[in-house]
Structure 1
Amino acid sequence: MDPQVRRHTEKAVELLRGGKLPHAAAEFEHAVRLAPADVTLRQRLGDVYLRLGLRTHAVQEFQQVAGRYAADGQLLKAIAICKVILEIAPERQETLHTLADLYARQQGTSPAVHKLPPSMSAAVPPDEATTEKELQPLDLESLAIFREALAGVALPRPAPEEDEDATVVRTPRMATIDLSRLPPSPLFSALDKQAFEEVVKKLDLRWVSAAETVVREGEQGDSMFVVVQGVVNVMHGDKVIAAMGEGAFFGEMALVTDSPRLASVVAAKDGLLFEIHRARLEEIAGAHPSVGKVIAAFYQDRLLANVLRASPVFRPLSDAERHRVGEKFVRHSLPPQTVLLEQGKPGAGFCVLLRGKCEVFHEGSKGEQLPLPQLKEGDIFGEISLLLESPCTATVRTLSFCEVLELPRDDFKRLVLPNPEIKSMVQKLMAERLERTADLLDREVAILPDYIV
């Protein structure tokens, strides 16, 4: 940091501690003039303005912050600042419209570049060579006032005579953004502009503290989360099985199914999340039908990607090989009482249950049906028959209307089975699975907790 900028910043912090907000604002103004691209300084200045009741000034600073994050490809942080702006002044929607122009799905022919309005350009360096390698994160301390507002604490009253022309930094320059260099964002970039804006308006900001449980395994969920800043741990019991950082989505199954949470998610450190509620998305989909299709496709892609990444069947494949496999899955919509796998016959393919429930049973030598644990959303089945090239060991039948993704047998044999690691595991899998099946069939029905078709 430039010595002069540091001096003004340290002075501002000292004045803040003494409760001298106007003088602190003046010091931050000096620092911003010297370092206009510093989004942390602008966030702190915007926070001080807001505490002084200077809402127009605060919005101007936060707009510049949102513009910089948007230009840098950090859409989630830009949306978080946009939500702050809408909380201060719901009528100030220029930032929202601009983010939709930059990141929403483009209709027809769109220009290769986009001009940021001057109100969002001052923090964007004019020369790309001067752009910082890593932009500063959101200053969660400065945004604490909005956390208080969400908890029911009113924002400071507007100053009675705020001079809207007394802005700290003005610029007639309109920053030019090369749209081809902006990374697409899962979900958001698939929405058209109107739907994008409605989703942004309806999502919630959720601050989390280290060790706070966000979702709990086994509980019913009704919302999905996006990590804007921070890290969360995915847990089964007391064991951490994965860590997710900025940009990660979790809990998306709750948007389309009534299944309980499959794991717990706990904040590894203080951070900020988006929470998107199922009921609000359904409300938006009523006015924008395309949203329902986008959510369904998002859920399907996420579930399939998780299966391809986590399943031992596909784990030996490279990323490129998994991508080719994923393109071959076919979606089926099936009514109740549809037989998906039939005991004694070859399986049609490798299947993933997207929606609904299926019963599983083994038919004994005398024709009696031995029920096994039901399949639920996210479960896979049919892999044994494919791997061992043998008849199915049980029957799977839909109990409700179901959505199933299937990798056809021929594509499985062509794209998966030739892998040397998969070939070597087939013999081991054959012995283990068939031994387990034989063991299970010798037990009482009530103690068959883990049968896999």
Structure 2
Amino acid sequence: MSDPLHVRLEQLLALGRTPEALAAAEALATELARQGQPLRAIAVCRVLLQLEPAHTRTPQLLADLYAKPAPGAPAPTPGAAALPRVPLFSELAREPFMSLISVLEPRSFAPGQPLINEGETGRSSFVLVEGKVNVVRKMDAGEPRTLSSLGEGEFFGEIALVSESPRLASVVADQHVLALELHRTRMDRIAFKYASVGDTVRAFYRERLLANVLRSHPVFSALPPAQREALSHIFELRTVEAGRVLIEQGQRGDALYLLLSGQCTPLFRRPDGQETAFPPLREGDVFGEISLLLGQPATATVRAQTPCHVLRLGREPFEQYLSGQPGIRAALMRLGTERLLHISKLLAGGRAVHEGDSRVSTQLRPRVSSHCFTNAGTPSRRVG
């Protein structure tokens, strides 16, 4: 198997629906599956199903090796127990596992070709089978910057399976890439028949999203891994429609928020009823910390300016998991104090508010690593 997998798949497709192509594809998928390379085996299986839609042996083999065992199922055959478990896939029972395989789409990308374009609406998620990609984000000045690289076995684009929202970054092939794409509409069709598919896929991506955000965010990364894992189960992922008020000035805050996507506007209401709008909160901003830490009413209203995704941590879990952590508490106090100082100066001086005036400094203002929740899906050259 000296040729890369994407080349082998293209060779198989070039042979068409011939006995030679079908036999070679089945043999290759079986070999990869038994070698503990399930994602590669799934990619070959999908090409095999394109050649012979009625084929069942290979999906059944993959399910027998990697799907979640049924209750009371016999012990695995010798050697099977040593096979790796596949994130997401191995959480599904046999029939849902096979159904999910049937809707995955193998996609081939040349070096420099985008899998995802920043700003486009996301409707699918990817898992990388072969190659490497770079996560690229446009900075405030408009110049692109590579934030991170992802390798084989990485999942990305998870927010696209929760709701349609703009891509937060581009994902570009660094070398020739083979990926499996899961469209939300196709997943929904399978979930209509097997509810466990939708539940498992969404739970998997939600847990990954939360774990990645907490690990990469400067405020929460100081927590020990065990506490970050505990937090990932109690943070709520919420979709907020434009115009909704998250925090009301004068009311006691009931949660800490971390903005994943979209924009929220802080508004200060003066005694005469007039409102002053401050520069919008954006991806990666934390808010609500002042009221929680000081036990005082909120100093401003925060309203969703656009549809947003937020992580919400209620007061009780906040006090249980975060307030006793000196490093976390200090970081949030610095964040809140800096914000209060900026607001006070702006209101006292009566100046117009410009971008950057009420922003917390770069050192204090955390940004979430974009690859943690990049959405996926742009036109590309298909394998088949």
Question: TM class, shorter-chain normalised?
Answer: 0.7 to 0.9
- The separation in 2 between residues aligned to 1:400 and 1:279, in whole angstroms, is 24
1:440 positional shift: 6.0
Tell me the TM-score normalised to structure 1 length: 0.65
Report the equivalent of 1:324: 230
* 1:189 partnered with 2:90: yes
Report the equivalent of 1:178: 80
1:233 positional shift: 0.7
Q: Which amino acid aligns with 1:201?
A: S
* 1:111 partnered with 2:71: no
Note if contact 2:168-2:261 (Cα within 8 Å) is conserved in structure 1.
no
- The separation in 2 between residues aligned to 1:46 and 1:230, in whole angstroms, is 15
- The separation in 2 between residues aligned to 1:288 and 1:264, in whole angstroms, is 32
Note the alpha carbon deviations across 1:369-396, whole angstroms, 9 max, x for none.
3445777998754244445655433234
Note if contact 2:248-2:300 (Cα within 8 Å) is conserved in structure 1.
yes
Question: How large is the RMSD of aligned CA atoms in angstroms?
Answer: 3.9
1:227 positional shift: 0.7
Change in Cα spacing, 1:209 to 1:443, as seen in structure 2 (3 Å) is farther
Report the equivalent of 2:100: 199
1:64 positional shift: 3.3
Note if contact 1:388-1:430 (Cα within 8 Å) is conserved in structure 2.
no
Report the equivalent of 2:18: 55
Report the equivalent of 2:339: 433
Q: Which amino acid aligns with 1:89?
A: E
Note the alpha carbon deviations across 1:357-416, whole angstroms, 9 max, x for none.
976533223233344577799875424444565543323467999986533334333433
- The separation in 2 between residues aligned to 1:340 and 1:381, in whole angstroms, is 10
- The sequence identity of aligned pairs, in percent, is 40
Report the equivalent of 1:16: none
Gaps of 5+ in 2: 139-143, 366-384
Gaps of 5+ in 1: 1-38, 115-175
Report the equivalent of 1:341: 247
* 1:412 partnered with 2:313: no
Report the equivalent of 1:142: none
Change in Cα spacing, 1:195 to 1:374, as seen in structure 2 (3 Å) is farther
Report the equivalent of 1:211: 112
Give matches, 1:130-279, under 5 Å.
176-179=78-81, 181-237=82-138, 238-279=144-185
Note the alpha carbon deviations across 1:112-165, whole angstroms, 9 max, x for none.
314xxxxxxxxxxxxxxxxxxxxxxxxxxxxxxxxxxxxxxxxxxxxxxxxxxx
1:91 positional shift: 2.5
Describe the SS at the equivalent of 2:125: strand
Tell me the TM-score normalised to structure 2 length: 0.75
Aligned length: 353
Report the equivalent of 1:94: 57
Change in Cα spacing, 1:443 to 1:255, as seen in structure 2 (3 Å) is farther
Q: Which amino acid aligns with 2:210?
A: L
Report the equivalent of 2:141: none
1:239 positional shift: 0.8
Change in Cα spacing, 1:68 to 1:293, as seen in structure 2 (3 Å) is same
Change in Cα spacing, 1:379 to 1:187, as seen in structure 2 (3 Å) is farther
Describe the SS at the equivalent of 1:343: coil
Change in Cα spacing, 1:312 to 1:99, as seen in structure 2 (3 Å) is same
Q: Which amino acid aligns with 2:272?
A: K
